[in-house]
């Protein structure tokens, strides 16, 4: 009888070992199947945002105070950041008229962004109707070791200056509805935008090499306001 019990115990242990080995084999197979799929998803995220050749990139900046208006570009809603009044860039077909609708009213079909160009469309409501001004930023070129600043003067009647607070001037004599740009070392700094005697400040966040950062100088309630945001592009999808 003892020998019989020992045989049963040994058999039971052998069965448990076989089941354990089978489970390990199944888990290993699953992990091998899952790794390429996860890697593929990472690659998809990297390249899904790239539109086909010939596309342009547009974003909206509003001069209106209060809640951002409802904006549609080519019949698709475009979200404006409540803090800055500026959207992300969106890829649109280049060399084709752009349809821009604000609060249900078409305000322009005359904007035709060139292929690979970057445009900031500044919308305003100086009277009863919305207007748009197009600021052509040209084509992007990156310096992998530095960050890039873009300074937009959106203060009507103002020739603007941007400088480091209590330091050197970065941009000067910037006319209304214009953009100035330059590469900088990726550091933090307190910046000051001014028009004549009026000024507004902003602390530049810690930028990294290759970052693009835009600054927007506006006049709100007769006071200057300087805001900024990292330049980003919406993930591309067929529209």
Angle at 108 between CA 226 and CA 131, to 5 degrees: 40
* Closest residue by Cα to residue 189 from 221, 157, 155, 163: 163
CB within 8 Å of 146: residues ≥ 6 apart: 183, 184, 185, 186, 209, 210
User: What is the predicted pLDDT for the residue at 65?
Assistant: 82
Smallest Cα–Cα separation from 57: which of 134, 130, 110, 109? 134
Q: How do residues 152-198 score in pLDDT, each as one tens digit? A: 999 999 999 999 999 999 999 999 999 999 999 888 899 999 998 89
Tell me the pLDDT band of 50, cut-offs 50, 70 and 90. Answer: confident
Closest CA to 62 of 79, 45, 49: 79
Confidence bin at 142 (pLDDT 50/70/90): low
Distance CA 160, CA 167 (A): 16
What is the reported pLDDT for 77? 96
A 10 A CB-CB count for 212 gives 20
């Amino acid at each position: 009888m003892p020998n019989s019990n020992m045989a049963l115990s040994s058999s039971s242990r052998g069965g448990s070992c076989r089941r354990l080995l089978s489970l390990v084999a199944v888990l290993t197979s699953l992990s091998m199947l899952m790794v390429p799929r996860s890697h593929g998803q990472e690659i998809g995220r990297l390249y899904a945002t790239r539109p086909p050749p010939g596309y342009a990139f547009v974003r909206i900046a509003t001069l209106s105070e209060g809640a951002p208006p409802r904006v549609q570009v080519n019949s698709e809603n475009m979200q404006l950041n409540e803090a800055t009044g500026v959207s992300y860039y969106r890829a649109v077909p280049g060399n084709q008229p752009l349809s821009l609708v604000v609060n249900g009213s078409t305000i322009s079909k005359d904007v035709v962004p060139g292929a690979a160009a970057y445009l900031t469309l500044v919308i305003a409501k100086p009277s009863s109707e919305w207007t748009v001004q197009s600021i052509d930023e040209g084509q992007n070129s990156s310096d992998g070791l530095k960050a890039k600043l873009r300074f937009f003067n959106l203060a009507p009647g103002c020739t603007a200056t941007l400088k480091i607070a209590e330091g050197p001037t970065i941009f000067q004599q910037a006319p209304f509805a214009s953009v100035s740009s330059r590469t900088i070392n990726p550091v933090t700094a307190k910046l000051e935008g001014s028009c004549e005697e009026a000024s507004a400040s902003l602390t530049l966040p810690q930028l990294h090499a290759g970052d693009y950062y835009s600054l927007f100088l506006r006049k709100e309630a007769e006071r200057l306001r300087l805001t900024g945001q990292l330049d980003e592009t919406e993930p591309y999808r067929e529209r």
